[in-house]
Amino acid sequence: MAKFKVVITDLGYQSYQPEKDELAKVDAEVVLAECSTEQEVAQACKDADGVITRAAPVGADAIGQMEKCRVISRYGVGVDNVDIPAATAKGIVVANVRDYYNEEVSDHALALLLACVRRISSRDRQVRAGMWDIGAKEPIYRIAGKTLGLIGYGAIARTLHRKVKGFNLAEVLVYDPYVPAEQIAPAGAKSVELDELLNRSDYISIHAPLTDSTRHMIGEKQFEMMKPTAILVNTSRGPLVDPDALYNALKNGQIASAGIDVYEPEPPQKDCKLFELDNVVLTDHAGWYSEESQLALQQLAARNVALVLSGREPLYCVNPEVIKKQ
Ligand code: NAD
């Protein structure tokens, strides 16, 4: 019999071998459950030493019934399905997984930007419809010499910045109230206020988190400040952009086009107005995904658990006060 039992509360991946391989190193067996209610979580995790969760509700009741759990690890960054205060009160470490997607999301932002600049989706639709119109009613502009504006300058934006260095852009502008200008200048970008970024950028890519202060930070007033040739890319969270203002700006030619991976609401409703428009490239919150990033997500979520079960700290801890007390 294995030394530890680790329960995965809800499933969604094709194979759980990555978790099994990580946890075998600390002699833990993996039990796959398919919980959708808190009661089911409570039942499945009663005698678990560790829990890995995706979206199942790991609430205070379920946590209260855990007899010997030492760690709850979440696939991904957000831990809103876990009652953190309840886990903390019980001395259970809560861990998450970050930084597994920087390459993918920055690639995706770049792919959306290039698709908009080169009008890949609309031309694809035209060719399939039998049209062959090289000249074009829709102008395409050269990338070299243009200005890119990055809203938020964290891990993904910095990775994107590194990738666009070969494009011969004139300038990269950054708006991030929490990153000092002295850190931005040596990276080859200029720290500016949001209005200046919106005014001067040819391409705007959003990489800030969703908070009370970023909700609808791009609305009607902000679209008015943008160039009519501007391209907006959003791979952060849908609600950073007011959806009605986005639709109006695209429809009325206030901006040229947009590349959108994230929505409000998400997934978008069947009658989402953006679907009517030709000057928008849409993807399904797929920015984070590649075979490699998914594997990393599974391995790192399991490694968090293996580390705690072997008496060490997880890679990413959400409630470090529990570790300090141990
Ligand atoms: P990060 O925490 O490394 O960086 C976020 C940056 O935003 C920080 O530098 C922070 O200072 C800045 N910021 C905070 N408030 C701001 C504000 N009001 N205005 C401007 N900047 C502000 O995060 P990251 O890993 O770079 O991820 C960025 C966002 O990408 C995440 O918050 C998440 O919403 C999104 N994301 C999307 C996908 C996807 O699949 N599309 C995947 C992962 C992450």
Nearest-angstrom CA–CA distance, 242 and 125: 27
Q: Does residue 187 register a pLDDT over 80?
A: yes
Query: Is ligand 1 within 6 A of the CB of residue 235?
Result: yes
Full-model pTM: 0.91
Burial class (CB in 10 A: 0-12, 13-18, 19+), 262: buried
- Point out which residues pair with 220 in neighbouring strands: none
CA 224 to chain centre: 27
What pLDDT score does 309 carry?
A: 98
Q: Which class for 124: exposed (0-12), middle (13-18), buried (19 or more C-beta within 10 A)? A: exposed
Sequence ranges of the domains in the chain: 4-100+290-325, 102-282
Ligand 1 pocket check for 151: Cβ under 6 Å: yes
Instruction: Determine if ligand 1 sits within 6 Å of the CB of residue 297.
Output: no
The answer on pLDDT for 234 being more than 70 is yes
How far apart are the CA of 96 and the centre of ligand 1, in A? 16
pLDDT of 326 higher than 90 = no
Strand-strand pairing, 93-95 and 203-206: unpaired
CA-CA distances (angstroms) from residue 78 to 55, 316, 325? 10, 12, 24
Question: What is each CA distance from 112 to 121, 195, 231, 258, in whole angstroms?
Answer: 10, 23, 10, 8
Which secondary-structure segment (H or E) carries 206?
strand 203-206
Pocket flag, ligand 1, residue 287 (CB < 6 Å): yes
| pLDDT of amino acid 297 | 97
Which residue from 220, 313, 285 is spatially nearest to 76, judged by alpha carbons? 285
Domains 4-100+290-325 and 102-282 in one fold: yes
Q: How does residue 133 score in pLDDT terms, banded at 50, 70 and 90? A: confident
d(CA 94, CA 313): 11
The pLDDT of residue 325 is 76
* 237 catalytic per annotation: yes
Asked if 19 and 301 count as a contact pair (C-beta separation under 8 A), the reply is yes
Which listed CATH number (3.40.470.10, 3.30.720.200, 3.30.565.10, 3.40.50.720) goes with 4-100+290-325? 3.40.50.720
Select from 3.40.50.720, 3.90.920.10, 3.40.50.10190, 3.40.50.1010 the CATH code of 102-282: 3.40.50.720
Among 43-47, 53-57, 135-139, 244-248, the least confident range: 135-139
Known catalytic residue at 285: yes
